[in-house]
Amino acid sequence: MLPLFYVISHYSNLPFRAWEQRKLGDLVVDYVEKTSVQNQFPMLTSSQQKGIVLQEDYFANRQVTTENNIGYFVLPRGYFTFRSRSDNDVFVFNRNDIIDRGIISYFYPVFTLKSADSDFFLRRINNGIQRQLSIQAEGTGQHVLSLKKFKNIVAMFPSEGEQKKIGSFFKQLDDTIALHQRKLDTLKQMKKGLLQQM
């Protein structure tokens, strides 16, 4: 596998700049706002596969919970969360990109960024520091990763300007992949239609 800096500088004509070790606690800020009334905002779910989704959509036609949601965390748009408990030692971080304010269980710490590009940060923590997350998690059966332990992790980060360039590069890749996926889906439908006519 080629190093990230080589791929980015080779394919996007972006010069590679040095990365430096940063403590995540220097980049993130805890955000603690709790609901004061029942159903104050729409209930959200932070899913490993789908990201942040409305709970009613995620658990379609199933009763999720009858418990009171007063005291749940408020998750504003652009803020991050993760499930602090894991059965498989995998912690997935998500950002609320769907509504202005939602609520999420108190098992999902909420934080925002002091100084980092939001898109780059999300990719970096979900794809580059899983080993450190596992080391910081505590417990034998179900592993627990507190926000305090998360903030103790030290990882390599480029400057914020470089983060924006890298984030832009990956967005272009995502857009290209999505375009080709739509073309592939269209070709599959055409093939299916032609086979049915044989």
pTM of the complete model beyond 0.85: no
119 and 149 within one domain: yes
CA-to-CA distance for 9 and 16, rounded, in angstroms? 6
Q: Give me the pLDDT at residue 171, please.
A: 85
Residue 187 has pLDDT above 60, yes or no: yes
**Percent of the chain residues past pLDDT 90, beyond the cut:** 60
* Interval 124-129 mean pLDDT: 90
Looking at the fold, whether 53 and 130 belong to one and the same domain comes out as yes
pLDDT digits (tens, 9 = 90+) for 57-82: 877 765 555 578 999 999 999 999 99
Helix pair 4-12, 160-197: axis angle to 10 deg: 80
Copy the structure tokens of residue 182.
């739509």
Q: CATH code at 27?
A: 3.90.220
46-50, 78-82, 93-97, 186-190: range with lowest mean pLDDT = 46-50
Question: How do beta strands 85-86 and 51-54 pair?
Answer: unpaired
* 64/150 same-domain check: yes
Strands 44-47 and 73-76: unpaired
Tell me, yes or no, whether 115 and 187 share the same domain: no
Residues 15 and 28 both lie in one domain:
no
Does 3 score more than 60 pLDDT? no
Residues 143 and 180 in one domain: no
Quote the domain boundaries for residue 189.
Answer: 1-19+158-198
Mean pLDDT across the chain, nearest whole number? Answer: 88
Gap between the Cα atoms of 24 and 136, Å rounded: 13
Q: Is the pLDDT of residue 148 over 80?
A: yes
The answer to whether the beta carbons of residues 84 and 109 sit under 8 Å apart is: yes
Residue 93: C-alpha distances to residues 29, 50, 129, 175 (Å): 15, 11, 11, 21
Shared domain for 112 and 28, answered yes or no, is yes
- pLDDT reported for residue 70: 93
